[in-house]
A and B are shown apart, each in its own frame.
Chain A
Amino acid sequence: MDHARKIDGADGGAGGAADGPRAPDGCAGGVGRRDFLAGVLKLAGGAFVIVAGGAGLASTGEAAAKPGEGYDWNEHRYAYLVDTEKCIGCGSCVRACRAENDVPDDFYRTWVERYVVGLDGSKVDSPRGGIDGFPPEQTAFTPTKAFFVPKICNHCTETPCIQVCPVGASYRTRDGVVLVDGERCIGCGYCVQACPYGSRFLSPRTHTAEKCTWCYHRITKGLKPACVEVCPTGTRQFGDLRRADDPVRLAIERERVQILQPHLLTEPNCYYLHLDKEVR
Chain B
Amino acid sequence: MPEITGFAFPNDVHVHWSLMIVMYPYITGFVAGSFIVTSLYHLFGREEFKPVARLAMATSFCFMLVASLPLQLHLGHPERGWYVMVTPHFTSAMAGFGLLYGGYLVVVALEVWFVWRRQIIESARRSRGVKRAFYMALALGTYDTSPEALEIDHRMVRLFAGIGLPGACMLHGYVGFIFGAIKANPWWSTPLMPVIFLASAAVSGIALLTILYQVVSKLRHVAIEARCVASMARWLWFFLIITITLELLEIIMLSYENSEPWHIISQLLTTRLEFSFITMQMIIGGLIPLILLAIVVMMDRYLHERVRNTLSVISAVLLLLQVFSMRWNVVIGGQLLSKSLRGLRSPYTPELFDREGVLVALALFAAPFVLLWIFDRVLPIYPEAEDAPQQAPGHEGEAPTRGAMTV
Contacts and interface: CB of A to CB of B under 8 A. Distances in A.
Contacts of A187: 75-77, 80
A168 B89 contact: yes
A43 to B, nearest CB: 24
Contact of B89 (A166, A195, A196): A166
Interface in B54-103: 71, 74-77, 80-81, 83-84, 87-89, 91-95, 97
Contacts of A151: 9
Interface string B314-347: 0000000000000000000011001111100000
A188 B16 CA distance: 9
Interface string A152-195: 00000000101111111000000000000000111111101111
Contacts of A264: 183-184
Interface string A98-128: 0000000011100101000000000111101
Contacts of B335: 193
Contacts of A91: none
A8 to B, nearest CB: 28
A189 B17 contact: yes
B300 interface: no
Interface in A234-280: 264, 280
Contact of A207 (B77, B178, B183, B342): B77
A186 B89 contact: no
A233 interface: no
A201 B76 CA distance: 12
A128 B10 CA distance: 7
Contacts, number: 123
B14 interface: yes
B81 A202 contact: no
A129 interface: yes
A92 interface: no
B380 to A, nearest CB: 39
Interface in B168-191: 178, 182-185
A166 B94 contact: yes
Nearest to A167: B83
Contacts of A202: 14, 16, 76
Contacts of B84: 166-167, 186
Contacts of B223: none
Contacts of B14: 201-202
A197 B9 contact: yes
B11 interface: yes
Contacts of B81: 186
A164 B76 contact: no
A208 interface: yes
A111 B92 contact: no
Interface of A is mostly: loop
Contacts of A224: none
A199 interface: yes
Given A192-B16, A280-B340, A165 B89 contact: yes
A250 B6 CA distance: 37
Contacts of B87: 167-168
A95 interface: no
Contacts of A124: 6-7, 340, 342
B86 to A, nearest CB: 9
A113 B339 CA distance: 14
B405 interface: no
Contacts of B342: 124, 280
Contact of A185 (B76, B92, B334, B339): B76
Given A106-B1, A207-B76, A190 B92 contact: yes
B340 A166 contact: no
Contact of A166 (B13, B92, B338): B92
Given A126-B7, A186-B77, A193-B17, A163 B92 contact: yes
Nearest to A192: B16
Given A196-B339, A198-B338, A108 B182 contact: no
Contact of A164 (B1, B71, B94): B94
A165 B76 CA distance: 14
B10 A129 contact: yes
A207 to B, nearest CB: 3
Interface string B195-208: 00000000000000
Given A164-B92, A194-B184, A200 B11 contact: yes
B182 A166 contact: no
Of A124, A163, A167, which is in contact with the most chain B CB atoms at under 10 Å from its CB?
Answer: A167
Contacts of B6: 124
B76 A208 contact: yes
A187 B8 CA distance: 23
A107 B340 contact: no
Contacts of B340: 124, 198, 280
B92 A198 contact: no
User: Which 9 residue pairs spanning A and B have beta carbons closest together?
Assistant: A187-B76, A198-B9, A207-B76, A196-B184, A166-B94, A168-B89, A124-B7, A189-B16, A166-B92
Interface of B: 1, 6-14, 16-17, 71, 74-77, 80-81, 83-84, 87-89, 91-95, 97, 178, 182-185, 334-335, 338-342
10 contacts: A166-B95, A167-B83, A167-B84, A185-B76, A190-B92, A196-B184, A198-B12, A200-B11, A202-B16, A280-B340
Interface of A: 106-108, 111, 113, 123-126, 128-129, 151, 160, 162-168, 184-190, 192-202, 206-208, 264, 280
Given A167-B89, A187-B76, A198-B9, 15 more contacts: A111-B10, A126-B9, A160-B183, A165-B92, A168-B87, A186-B80, A186-B84, A188-B74, A188-B94, A190-B94, A193-B182, A196-B183, A198-B12, A201-B16, A208-B77
